[in-house]
Chain A
Amino acid sequence: MWRTLPAFLKELEVPEVPAAIRVIEPVKDSSDRELVDRFRNGDRDAFSAIYQTHHATVFRFALYMTGDRERAGEVTQEVFVWLVHHPAAFDPERGDLPAFLGGVARQMLRRRRREDQRWLPLNETAAGAAIPAEIAGSEDADELWKAIATLPERYREAVILCDMEEMSNEQAASVLGCAVGTIWSRLHRAHELLQRKLQSKVRCSI
């Protein structure tokens, strides 16, 4: 009655090691360290360089999570303003700067969502499922966006970081503040859900 794990995976048509789940050794970016050190000493150019280097990553993560360019911009601003006032919060020994900023962005997003849920009617909380006009393009990409947007948050975060942003599992774990194995399992489950959602869409369209 009990199926073995490989048989189970085969049945799900999920490869044993999904291509998207790559284990890459985290690279300690010495230039980031240097920039952060200078920024802590009040160097404006260093802070500007940090912003230039990393704001796009933060913005994209926020855009995936909110589905709204303006709100993603606000979250990005909040992240870097927070960094201005907490220059000592980043510890290079615990991870790289993009992962750290991603973690801050995640906290900002969670706080915003809590505040929004206080005021929005229940049926409007899944507004992120609507694809923004700036992103709408091919049908497949739109369907994928919608499928990702309707994933439970913990799976959506894993898919966005690892699949869309191509972060390593270690980096994603650092952003989400969980174990690498948790990222593995969340990705696995997220891929299952995505396949199911997309297949059901195809069936409906047929």
Chain B
Amino acid sequence: MNDPQMEAARRHLAARVAAVTPPDGLEAAVMAEFDRAHRRRPTRILAMCAALAASLLVGAILLRPTPKPAAPSVESQAFYTIPYTAPLEPYERVMVVQEQVPVTELIAAGFHFPATDPTGTMRADVMVSQDGRPRAIRPVAFDVSDRSSQ
């Protein structure tokens, strides 16, 4: 655009174009879109917060420490080896059965049992070895019940 005539035409054309105004309502439409976009924002934020809270709740439920079942007090009790029996080998498989054991049999096996009623029974876990013989015993209920009551 080195030609003076062309330069003058360029200036004139640029001035004419600069004088053209955009159609009415353009700014209003753009600002309305801005308002619409920003009105939606609180709803979106609320939705996001709700989703976050829900996921945190689910996570807390899933990851909460599960309460361990209270160990029965009897398990803290040790087995008592039945006197005059061979000790168990570490590799030996055993079975524990719970049954009512007559107090007389406990006394006969060599236990010192201060029971007032020798005809009663005691509920106990009995450890039975592979050969089917009882090797140890663990009292479950310390109450000595009468055989006649069962």
Contacts and interface: CB of A to CB of B under 8 A. Distances in A.
A140 B26 contact: no
Which residue, A13, A134, A136, has most C-beta atoms of chain B within 10 A? A134
A29 interface: no
Nearest to A135: B16
Interface string B82-103: 0000000000000000000000
Interface in A154-185: 163-165
A146 to B, nearest CB: 10
B108 interface: no
Given A144-B13, A164-B14, A47 B34 contact: yes
B149 interface: no
B9 interface: yes
Interface string A5-25: 000000001110011100000
A151 interface: no
Contact of A140 (B12, B14, B20, B35): B12
B31 A44 contact: yes
Contact of A144 (B10, B20, B26, B35): B10
A42 interface: yes
User: Number of contact residues on B: which range applies?
Assistant: 20 to 34
B9 A163 contact: no
B146 to A, nearest CB: 84
16 contacts: A14-B2, A15-B2, A44-B35, A51-B31, A55-B22, A64-B17, A77-B29, A80-B30, A81-B30, A81-B33, A132-B20, A135-B16, A135-B20, A140-B9, A141-B16, A144-B6
Interface of B: 1-3, 5-6, 8-10, 12-14, 16-20, 22-23, 26-27, 29-31, 33-35, 37-38, 41
Interface of A: 13-15, 18-20, 42, 44, 47-48, 51-52, 55-56, 59-60, 63-64, 69-70, 72-73, 76-77, 80-81, 84-85, 132, 134-138, 140-141, 143-145, 163-165, 191, 194-195, 198
